Structure 1
Amino acid sequence: MDDGAGRADPQVFNEFWSTADGRWRAQLLRLTDAERAAKTAAEAWDEIAEQLAALAATQVRTAGEEHELELRDVAKEIGLDAQGWHIDHISAYEPTPFHRHDTPVVGALARQIDQQRERLREVAQLAGERELA
């Protein structure tokens, strides 16, 4: 999972280390709930990040590249610490002509979830659990 600043927060996933065999399904429910909550948060973050990236692009078009203002500098000027903010160039948020792609934080979260799911499949296969594999 992601903590909103692009760092992994593996608390729910790590609880599998101490989950009794008979409690796996309950833990899987908690994990999927955490994944859904993380996806909702990632979507909300990317929505705001897209708006900020669009404002930055407008500022560059208006003032010119030689007068570009970095978002982190602007945030600092108004008293915000944007050090851990994950905001890409506006092009990272725009759909391609052929399909809508994942936005940056949503995409990173999806890759992390895929890695966790693959690990769960491996463990289920080793344990002989066909339902989880």
Structure 2
Amino acid sequence: MKQKGQAGIEALFAIGVIVILFIGIYAVYNDKSRNLLAVEQELRQREVCVGLANDIVSVFTLGEGTEKTRRLEYNVTIQPQQQRINLGKSFCTLTIGLVSSEGPVTGTPFNIGEGIVKIKNVNQSVRIQNE
């Protein structure tokens, strides 16, 4: 025969097990949610990177005097010699290396800040500058 006090302890034990299960489920959910946000940010950065690379190539292809403006949501590092654009943890490649921020193309990496940028074809090379 069970005593009344024992039933109370069993109920508390069952409630404790349920609480521990919920805490475990929440921990897994929280971890997956953080991972999902990180992947989402990387994909957004990659999208911006590929869009910028496409704009650079199209301005170069369309020839002398072509201009385009674009809004960047992130700071970008362009490495003309490696034909690469770095943006946070993401990067993408360029099909041309004739890119500079000012003056003639030197192949030196340069940074472009977030905001409105102007992409312009000057002397068969592409210049990118913040407005």
Short-chain TM bin: 0.3 to 0.5
Max radius of gyration: which structure?
A: 2
Report which structure shows greater RCO (CA 8 Å, sep ≥6). Answer: 1
Higher strand residue share:
2
Report the TM-score when normalising by structure 1. Answer: 0.34
Q: TM-score, normalised by structure 2?
A: 0.34
Larger helix percent: 1
